[in-house]
Structure 1
Amino acid sequence: MADSPLFQALHMEMTHALCAEREKGLSALEGVGFRVGQGLSERLTKETPSFKGELDVLKFLCKDLWIAVFKKQGTYVLQDNQFLLLSQLSNGKQYLEEAPKFLAFTCGLVKGALSNLGFDSTVTAEVPVMPCSKFQVVIQKS
C-alpha cells in the first residue's frame, strides 16, 4: 500500500470531505473502502488457491490484507490497540464521538475483500478507548 503518512493524510482528507453529511458520508466512505478491499483482495490472492473455509479467510484478513494496508499483522479478533487511522486524533473522550467515521473506510475495506472472495459479511467497529479499535466480522453462511 502507500507510504503510511501519505495514506493517513489521504484518509483524513477523504473522511472530512465525505462526512460533511454524517449518514451519507459514512455510507460513501464505506463504499470507497469496499471497492479498495475488492481490488486489494483480488491482487493479493491472484496466485493463491481458493480458500477452504472461514478460518483460511480470517487468516488472509489478519495476515495478508492487514499487513498490506497497515504494515502490521492483525489478530483474529481484529483488535488494533494503535489503529493507524485514529493515532492522529487526541486521546480525549470528545473524539470518541467522531471516531466511527474514521473506521467506516476500513469496515468497507474488509467487507469488500470478503465479497471478492465470495463471502457475504457484516463488518462493524467500535472504539473502546482512543486509538484502540475493534472490528467484528460476521460471515454469513451461503
Structure 2
Amino acid sequence: MYCNRLYANKPELAASRIDAIGYQVGHQLSERYTMERPRFTDHLDAIKFICKDFWSELFKKQIDNLKTNHRGTFVLQDNRFRWVSRMSLDPSENGDLSQENAEAAENKAVQEPNMHLHFSCGVIKGALHNLGIACAVSADPSQLPACSFVVRIKP
C-alpha cells in the first residue's frame, strides 16, 4: 500500500496524507454530482444528499442509517462498508508466525482498514466542503464490516 512504503515509521503523517487525497476526490466528485442541482439550503439537506445520491454513486447503495442530534453532529452508518468488507491480510507476508510477528500482523490488521477509512473520511469532508459545509469527519471501525462516520459541523 502507498502509505506503507512512504510513511512506514510515521502512521500519523500517512493518515493525514491519505485523508488529503480523499478530500480532493470527494471535492471533485461532489462538484460533478451537483452540477445540475441548486445549492442546498441547510446542513441537513446536504447530509441527506451525501447519504443518498453521493453514496449511491460511489457504492451503489445508500447509507443504511443517519442519526443527528440537531446541533451539528451527524452519524452516517453503512452496515456493509464495501471498501473494508472483504479486507484480509496475506499470511505469507509474515513468514513464520512467532509471537513478535503475530503482534506485528495484528497491528497491521488494525492499521489497514484505518488507512482506508482515513481516505473515506477525506472523501466525505471534501464533498461537504464543496457544498459549503466546513466539518470534521471521523470513522468508527469497531464493528467491521459495518462502519460509522461521525460528521461534526464546524461553527
In 1, Cα distance between the equivalents of 2:7 and 2:116? 10
The number of residue pairs the alignment matches comes to 127
Change (3 A) 1:40 1:18: farther
Letter in 2 for 1:66: W
Structure 1 window deviating more from structure 2 (98-107 vs 40-49): it is 98-107
Query: Residue deviations 1:27-52, cap 9 Å, x none?
Result: 11000100000001100100101101
Aligned match of 1:8: none
Match of 1:50 among 39, 55, 58: 39
Q: How does 1:52-131 map to 2 (within 5 A)?
A: 52-74=41-63, 75-76=65-66, 77-90=75-88, 94=106, 95-131=109-145
Change (3 A) 1:73 1:17: farther
Provide structure 2 residue ranges, at least 5 long, that are not aligned to the other structure: 67-74, 89-105
Aligned match of 2:147: 133
Letter in 1 for 2:76: L
- TM-score (normalised: structure 2): 0.74
Query: Residue deviations 1:40-98, cap 9 Å, x none?
Result: 110010010110101101111101111111111013231112111111224xxx43454
Letter in 2 for 1:81: N
- TM-score (normalised: structure 1): 0.80
Provide structure 1 residue ranges, at least 5 long, that are not aligned to the other structure: 1-12
CA contact (8 A) 1:34 1:113 kept: yes
Structure whose residues are more often strand by fraction: 2
Larger RCO, structures 1/2 (Cα 8 Å, 6+ apart): 2
Percentage of identical aligned residues: 42
Instruction: Please tell me the root mean square deviation across aligned C-alpha atoms, in Å.
Output: 2.0
